[in-house]
Structure 1
Amino acid sequence: MTGLSLLGLGAMGLPMSEVLLAHGQPLTVWNRTAAKAESLRASGAVVARTPADAAARITLTVLPDLADVQAVVDGPTGLRAGWLAAGIRSPLLVVMGTVSPVAVREYAGELAADGIRLVDAPLSGGVIGAQEARLSIMAGGSVNDVKELQPVFAILGDIVRHMGPVGTGELAKACNQMIVASTVSAASEAMILAREAGLDRAALLDILRGGLAGSEVLRQKGQNWVDESFEPGGTAAYQLKDLAFALASAAEAGVDLPLTTTVRDMFAALVDSGQGGLDHTGVFRELERRSTFLFPVGELS
């Protein structure tokens, strides 16, 4: 067992593990589908059979939601049992998935009663950012806990900010996701208009990337709209989940978010249509459906 482990080898967790190992960081990994972890063994990772076997002083979780984190913490083969068996006192659990700011704050209080420290440190930068070790990391937790994590964060990201107490990292990520979801929605509308008006979408993408409309979203995802191919990176279903967190935080703060509400409704319609597994840029399909309901394809211009 090493002093650092990572649980969850999905689209983000796998490249993050590869980056840590490439920097010579001893690492234990665990994934629900065990075969996915085997590719890391050759790079020097210790592959754990259970979350308990992956319990380390610092344990990173890169899991979709807080329920998934709780599932690997509790139970006879969970992290809590592993920390106890290994005699690790005051372990540090780092929640790097996008979860509810309100719920993670409450969960941190529950864990603190058992001496378990929690830092929420969600990520932005997408799969490419994870592969290139240039993630933005938004950390919420005590000053000392976040300071202890700085060497690990410095390997994974090029922008690391301590946002405040537990929950503030996730609140910052909610703000990030509001902008991402609005951007992919606006880009989808623009590309539908361009297609129907007969513009060369590849040429338009070049112009957009080089002008004021340029963004990391267009850099990483722009070709999706040109090809109308929406293979998942971050899925529409996850985007909908994140927008729900943003709106719940807004309700708690007494803030009205009309644009985010509208965008949330578009993603909800896409998910309800059975297309939640598309990349979040696949909101194009929902906007296309709404456009063609009013104007048959080819008649928008």
Structure 2
Amino acid sequence: MTETAVTDIQNELKSIALLGTGPMGAPIARNILAAGVPLTLWNRTAEKARAIGGGRVAGTPAEAAAGVVLTVLPDLPQVASLLPGEDGLLAGWKAAGIEEPVLVIHGTVSPVAVARFAEDCKNLHGVTVVDAPLSGGTIGAEEGRLSTMAGGPRDTVRRLLPLFGLYSSTVVWFGEAGAGSTVKACNQIVVSATVTALAEAMAVATATGLDPEKVQSILAGGLANSEVLRQKGQRWIDQDFEGGGSAKNQLKDLNFIAEIAKDAGLELPLSASVRGAFELMVDAGDGDLDHTGIYRTILGEPGHASRL
């Protein structure tokens, strides 16, 4: 990024902070810093923020309060918990004299809840909320080619576009707060169904004695190919389901999808079936595994990694 472009981002957005340096937040932070944009970091476990190797690490959310605060956290309650108290963002914004801060929610949250949260933040505190969930996984975050689905005031999103462009290859505004999260729900219908379909295919391959790597080469060469297969295929070959996008977060997304479908008067039979499978996986104690671990549930051996 040119020095002029960095200056333009700074002039437009004044100051930027990122809260939540987990599997998605860390590579996003690194991409922002690599572009030469100053960034304040905060994470509940401070060591993870310091491990980024750049930026200013804040001790509390209040110390991280900036004109634009990016949150990369699992769900809306975690974001809401950052606001109150003497160590919270509201106190930090007041102390810093920031009158119209922007709070960006990059996690996957309920569209209904985030729309209500955005309204309360604006009316009660003068904080503009942009719900901007991401798609592309940790690899997409590392490569700076995430898809960002934005909901919130259009002019605010326009101001954020150069910043989002540091870690996204696609950014689309869809409407007011909640719209971005609704689009993410559409995305997650496809992702969860594709993960489950591939896990079923790998389970069939395993149960019938086929070489899963060879099976995947055929899938990758035809209509069954997908970004999910490209990013996740090796997990089934290696039988490695640690880390990654957790099954419990996938189930959370599926619950949001069920909420949206109910409000819209829709029956989503495929999503309901996939949701049931992930409920079984989480109930069996495999909720912290990558969602590709639904393979274990399909084989009927959840909770027994050593047996696979």
TM-score bracket, shorter-length normalisation:
over 0.9
TM-score norm. by structure 1 comes to: 0.94
Does the 8 Å contact 1:232/1:280 carry over to 2? no
Match of 1:39 in 2: 51
Distance in 2, matches of 1:138 and 1:56, equals 22
Identify unmatched segments of 5+ residues in structure 1.
292-296
Match of 2:7 in 1: none
Distance in 1, matches of 2:32 and 2:297, equals 38
Is 1:25 paired with 2:34?
no
Is 1:223 paired with 2:234?
yes
Match of 2:190 in 1: 179
Distance in 2, matches of 1:37 and 1:191, equals 37
Distance in 2, matches of 1:159 and 1:201, equals 33
Match of 2:75 in 1: 65
Match of 2:10 in 1: none
Distance in 2, matches of 1:183 and 1:16, equals 25
Distance in 2, matches of 1:195 and 1:272, equals 24
**Amino acid across the alignment from 1:105:** A
Shift of 1:290: 7.9
Give me the CA root mean square deviation.
Answer: 1.5
Match of 1:239 in 2: 250
Match of 1:7 in 2: 19
TM-score norm. by structure 2 comes to: 0.92
Match of 1:294 in 2: none
Percent identity (aligned): 52
**Amino acid across the alignment from 2:22:** G
Cα distance per residue 1:65-87 (max 9 Å; x no partner)? 00000011122211111001111
**Amino acid across the alignment from 2:16:** L
Shift of 1:232: 1.9
Paired residues for 1:125-136 under 5 Å:
125-136=136-147
Identify unmatched segments of 5+ residues in structure 2.
1-13
Greater mean deviation of Cα atoms: 258-267 or 190-199: 190-199
**Amino acid across the alignment from 1:278:** L
Is 1:266 paired with 2:277?
yes
- Which of 83, 87, 108 lines up with 2:93 in the alignment? 83
Match of 1:54 in 2: 64
Is 1:95 paired with 2:105?
yes
Match of 1:162 in 2: 173
Shift of 1:209: 1.4
Aligned residues: 290
Distance in 1, matches of 2:138 and 2:36, equals 21
SS at match of 1:72: coil
Distance in 2, matches of 1:38 and 1:61, equals 17
Runs of 4+ in 1 over 4 A off after TM superposition: none
**Amino acid across the alignment from 1:71:** S
